[in-house]
Structure 1
Amino acid sequence: MPTDQDTLRELFVTGLRNAHAVEKQALSIMTPQVARLEHYPEVAERLRLHIDETNGQIERLDELLASFETSGSALKDAALSMSGGMAAITHTFAGDEIVKNSFANFAFEHFEIAAYKSLLTLAEDGGFGQAMTPLRQTLDEEQSMARWIDEALPSVTRRYAELYAAGGSSQAKV
């Protein structure tokens, strides 16, 4: 385990910058999804809530980065936002878009959970106590969203199957 304070600080700040870019990517994935959800109002409602949470997470990360006299990486933010937007677009061509989006969102939430657990470890080891509360709040929000997706997947899948049976894949998509 690295014990050098400068090393821990560098790793922590890099992790914060990466998390900032990942949250920007999350927005670029969720925003187009919510705009396309016609047949799944409960999913749209929960995505809107998580978009609001994600904006708050970005604000908390901005504050933490500022406390280390730095900011998010414009290059990382732009690159991940673009890749998130491309991922969202590719699912629009799938007949089972809602199901694929659910799978991808579930995986993405778990990626974020792992990232925040890692950041909390670095914060603890580095003595960055000011970061613990905002990072725990974000971790709680990500875990809540992952649980919601997990619990909603059966009903989303059933709704998709019902719509598909009623009118084919174009009716069932979103």
Structure 2
Amino acid sequence: MAAETHDIFITGLRNAHAMENQALAMLQPQANRIRNYPKVASRILQHIAETEGQIQRLERLLGDRNETHSSFKDMVMSVVGGMGAIGHAVADDEILKNSLANFAFENYEIAAYNSLLALARELNLQEAIPLLEQNLDEEQAMAQWLQENLADVTLQYAGLRKAGLTAKR
């Protein structure tokens, strides 16, 4: 059972690595396009830096087990993330679509890290737990920030539209 659980853990680490690459592919275009929402842009830039750190921690966990990430999964998920960003860019309510998608994706990441933590605890991988917890904490903080700021972003968007200003981004 331990060998099977370990295999599931390694697959989960590879999936999380690909997931974080998808997050970067979603967030980086957003950060480059946001104009009227400086608070959102700032938080996205902060989370991009956090995401880069999360990728490094995942690579460390894989390397400690003589494993590597899946370049194929990373590439596919990056393309998927980029396509989502492109799809939202053509929408009049791009900022709202991005905000909703980001909130959903953060909660997906939270679930993934909770799953990895359960496996790490089952395998008694004490060195992995704090690294995974740090990733989880950052994802939870971003999800909380998005939740707390969604109403303000929505109302700012509506106010800009009402004033006849560019509200899109």
TM-score surpassing 0.5?
A: yes
Within 5 Å, give how 1:33-52 maps onto structure 2: 33-52=30-49
Aligned residues, how many?
169
Residue number in structure 1 paired with 2:68: 71
Q: CA RMSD in A?
A: 0.7
Alignment gaps of 5+ in structure 1: none
**Cα distance, 1:163 vs structure 2:** 0.8
- Cα deviation digits, residues 31-79 of structure 1 (max 9, x gap): 0001000000000000000000000000000000001101110000000
TM-score normalised to structure 2 length? 0.99
Q: Percent identity?
A: 51
TM-score normalised to structure 1 length? 0.96
Q: Which 4+ stretches in 1 moved above 6 angstroms? A: none
AA of the residue aligned to 1:121: A
Within 5 Å, give how 1:110-149 maps onto structure 2: 110-149=107-146
| Cα distance in structure 1, aligned partners of 2:97 and 2:77 | 20
Within 5 Å, give how 1:16-31 maps onto structure 2: 16-31=13-28
Alignment gaps of 5+ in structure 2: none
Asked if residue 98 in structure 1 is aligned to residue 95 in structure 2, the reply is yes
Asked if residue 81 in structure 1 is aligned to residue 83 in structure 2, the reply is no
| Cα distance in structure 2, aligned partners of 1:30 and 1:108 | 11
Asked if residue 5 in structure 1 is aligned to residue 2 in structure 2, the reply is yes
